[in-house]
Structure 1
């Protein structure tokens, strides 16, 4: 009867590999979070100052006599500034919502699978991959 039994898997070793893989997936998620916030910061440091500089005369008027109509017309007559501020605000809000969802509800299954596939690709490519030292060190 002993000959018919399947060889047992070393569960301690399998758990160690699985734990290592899960840590790498978590590190990739952290790198993704930092990357998104870095992108948002770059937008605020590059686009927002130009947009606000272009709106400086309207901002002075708004500081003295704020009305929603004056804000609306200030943004309406400066479409590039309005677009720049909308991009900055939109990416910031979307990043906050994305990160809050991940914190409060956990990873959606699709995102978890995407992260796992990416970790496998990084592992397969090895040290030549740009994210190797941050994910698989």
Structure 2
């Protein structure tokens, strides 16, 4: 019989532990998309409101020059829209990479350590309720 690997804790091999890591990963995905939605609902909508007249003009006759000058004349709105767009792209690329190539070992280790901290802190941790609910107890 092969000896267990001393680098891998025994609880990491349990199916429940892997399911908990998967639930924590899903919470991470949900949190990232929630941040993106919140950005678009606050900063994005305010930025679009700031350029509403220019958008109406571009709706009539769009040119790349009109878009360029709209963003140059309204720097605060341009920064807000760029922030929202870049955050959306970064989350999209992060999730696509995880779907296509699997999670990176560093990220898997981070999830593992975070789950151990959550279990150690117990019901006092804010994510405990999301991972285990009120009915499930973890030893």
Tell me the TM-score normalized by structure 1.
Answer: 0.86
- Count of aligned pairs: 124
| 1:69 maps to which of 65, 70, 77 | 65
The within-5 A match list for 1:27-66 is: 27-66=23-62
TM value normalised by structure 2: 0.84
Deviations 1:25-67 (A, max 9, x none): 1111000000001110001111111111110111111111211
Partner of 2:127: 131
1:84 paired residue number = 80
Structure 1 residue runs of 4+, over 6 Å off?
Answer: 14-17
Query: Residues of 1 paired with 2:11 and 2:92: CA distance?
Result: 34
Structure 1: distance between partners of 2:130 and 2:67:
45
Q: How many Å separate the matches in 1 of 2:55 and 2:67?
A: 9
Structure 2: segments with no counterpart, 5+ residues: 1-9
Matched, 1:118 2:114: yes
Aligned-residue CA RMSD in angstroms?
A: 1.6
Query: Are the structure 2 counterparts of residues 16 and 89 from structure 1 closer, same or farther at C-alpha, using a change threshold of 3 Å?
Result: closer
Q: What residue ranges of structure 1 are gaps of 5+ in the alignment?
A: 1-13
Residue 109 of structure 2 corresponds to residue 99 of structure 1:
no
